[in-house]
């Protein structure tokens, strides 16, 4: 009954939103069936100029979003409610790792406006930190208290802005947060205390990434033992076929994790391997990434949004964030292994994403990609989430750098 009631409320909301011209633009855009369009691997479609064009449109979307937040953060999402377009409040977690995206863009193209915005976002983060070093979960005005995963993503941005500006206040804040994260690790290597819904999750490999990042910049190995403990936990959750248990960010769909959270897990692992060179970490990462590679090679278009323990499709729509994250992982694996299959697949997936980028006269959607494809798909239906656009940018920049 509860599910039926939610479906009825959703249908009512869609009916109320349909007269909204911004909503209509996204609706008709999703009717094109772009999720079934095979990628264009021609030199022109994957040229530096073409990638830069799409990248600039996505960065422009972020600049417009940040301008609308008085606190200089980035909104969690653009959504539609009761007929209106809604820009939600700033989200410290994703603002944190969007700082990294902006710093990477600045180092590639030396755009001062982008660096200025990254500094504003970083200063916003400093105002969010608790006395114990932690950062909050949730959005501004809806905080869920200290959060391990969210703190780690903010650390990611603070370390990156420190590397660009050499302002020690960012590194000091990052180090305080890592000390707090290490202090609340569970005995089995996972994190449940002060973590989302109190759940053990393998995608805390992204926490390991931030801890090792701080070690790297400080030239210490203070967190190596902490991360090794978590790698052992992650390994214990992986099946022989590469699938991860305890990988979703929900309790009710943990048996069919999102490509977003699978992408988090793999990305965290490959990023850690590039810092610690531990063979175990690379093997865990490749075992899952290679299954997704084979699926994309077999059917080269946007991946289904969920997979069950047999890697069978468990969703009729595609999670755009997951597609971008997985493309990033393939590029990083190409640089480790020099296996051309990874690079070809990554180019193909990024081209699919560029094909689904929104081009519109409406600034609140222009340059973005939706949370799901189609727009009404399962993952954050009828929204644009900022983390999906972030990973879209990151994937394009990796491809751009690879083509230089």
Residue with tokens 């409040």, as numbered in its chain = 89
Beta-carbon count within 10 A of 344 CB: 18
Assigned token pair, 189 = 């290597």
Write out pLDDT tens, residues 83-111: 889 999 999 999 999 999 999 999 999 99
CA-to-CA distance for 359 and 274, rounded, in angstroms? 36
Q: What is the model's pLDDT at position 245? A: 98
Q: What does the pLDDT read at residue 246?
A: 97
Q: What angle do CA 269, 283, 327 make, to 5 degrees?
A: 55
Tokens 């480790």 appear where? 336
Q: What is the token pair recorded at 280?
A: 């175990």
Q: How far is CA 252 from CA 134, 229, 247, 248, 377, in A?
A: 28, 27, 12, 9, 18
Both structure tokens of 278: 């531990």
The token pair that represents 228 in the structure block: 């090794």
Contacts from 215-222 at CB under 8 Å and sequence distance 24+? 215/275, 216/275, 217/159, 217/162, 217/163, 217/171, 218/171, 218/175, 222/182
**pLDDT reported for residue 80:** 87
Predicted structure pTM score: 0.96
Collapsing DSSP states into helix, strand and coil, what is residue 362?
Answer: coil
Give the separation between CA 370 and CA 319, rounded to whole angstroms.
9
Please list the ranges in the chain whose pLDDT falls under 50.
none
């Amino acid at each position: 009954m509860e599910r039926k009631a939610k479906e009825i409320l959703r249908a009512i909301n869609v009916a109320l939103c349909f007269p909204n011209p911004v909503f209509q633009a996204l609706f008709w855009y999703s009717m094109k069936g772009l999720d079934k369009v095979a990628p264009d691997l021609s030199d022109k479609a994957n040229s530096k100029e073409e990638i830069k064009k799409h990248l600039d449109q996505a960065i422009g979307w972020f600049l417009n979003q940040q301008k609308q937040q008085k606190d200089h953060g980035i909104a969690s999402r653009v959504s539609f409610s009761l007929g209106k377009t809604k820009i939600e409040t700033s989200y410290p977690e994703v603002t944190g790792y969007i700082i990294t995206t902006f710093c990477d863009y600045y180092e590639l193209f030396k755009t001062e406006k982008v660096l200025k915005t990254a500094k504003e976002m970083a200063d916003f983060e400093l105002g969010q930190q608790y006395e114990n070093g932690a950062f909050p979960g949730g959005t501004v005005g809806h905080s869920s208290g200290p959060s391990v995963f969210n703190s780690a993503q903010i650390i990611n941005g603070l370390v990156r802005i420190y590397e660009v500006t050499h302002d020690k206040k960012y590194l000091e804040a990052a180090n305080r947060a890592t000390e707090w994260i290490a202090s609340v690790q569970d005995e089995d290597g996972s994190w449940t205390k002060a973590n989302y819904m109190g759940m053990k999750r393998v995608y805390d490999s992204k926490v390991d990434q931030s801890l090792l990042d701080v070690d790297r910049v400080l030239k210490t190995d203070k967190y190596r033992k902490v991360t090794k403990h978590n790698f052992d936990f992650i390994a214990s959750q992986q099946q022989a076929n590469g699938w991860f248990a305890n990988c979703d960010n929900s309790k009710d769909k943990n048996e069919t994790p999102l490509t977003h959270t699978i992408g988090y897990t793999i990305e965290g692992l490959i990023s850690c391997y590039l810092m610690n060179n531990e063979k175990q970490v690379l093997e865990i990462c490749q075992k899952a990434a290679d299954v997704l590679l084979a699926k994309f090679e077999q059917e080269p278009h946007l991946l289904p949004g969920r997979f069950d323990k047999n890697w069978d499709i468990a969703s009729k729509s595609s999670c755009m964030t997951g597609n971008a994250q997985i493309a990033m992982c393939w590029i990083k694996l190409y640089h480790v292994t020099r296996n051309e299959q990874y690079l070809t697949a990554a180019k193909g997936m990024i081209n699919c994403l560029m094909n689904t980028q929104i081009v519109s006269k409406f600034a609140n959607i222009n340059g973005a990609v939706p949370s799901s494809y189609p727009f009404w798909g399962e993952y954050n239906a009828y929204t644009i989430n900022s983390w999906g656009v972030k990973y879209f940018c990151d994937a394009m920049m990796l491809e751009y750098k690879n083509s230089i």
